[in-house]
Structure 1
Amino acid sequence: MLVESTASDIDYVFGEAIGRLTQRPDAVEVAFDSGRDAEFDPVVGADGLHSRVHRIRWRPWTLDESGGNWFG
């Protein structure tokens, strides 16, 4: 429902794996494992708990021992 109602304004990519993210002043360059490159602003990775997008951009998730919260 969200995709259908926003597809005319937002570029969605499904079935691709991100290999590299490069921040530019006006966009984010994304290199996909398939060899395809594209630019977006912003990039939202919705690839789950063990997010590859998060590992590429920042670092692995860590568990806060005091409250059991995940931080990235």
Structure 2
Amino acid sequence: MTMTTIRIETISDTASGHVFAEVYKDGDATPVMRSIPAFASHDELADQVLELLRAHFPDHFPFVEDPTIGV
């Protein structure tokens, strides 16, 4: 079995005063993805990331009725 590690960092952008995210895979030094600095705080960005993950990676079998998405 192959396993991948994904790390998401929240970073302050001093020019704009906003926060952005960088996503790293398997300990690489270069991010595979970077957002624009569009978040007011590290907490706001973390909440957005967690909401996205919960929506796309439910903690139950995917072929059952899911009231959160109306199916």
Same-fold status (TM-score > 0.5): no
**Higher alpha-carbon Rg:** 2
Taking structure 1 as the reference length, what is the TM-score of the superposition?
0.24
Taking structure 2 as the reference length, what is the TM-score of the superposition?
0.25
* More strand per residue: 1
* More helix per residue: 2
Task: Flag the structure with more relative contact order, 1 or 2, with Cα contacts below 8 A and sequence separation at least 6.
Answer: 2
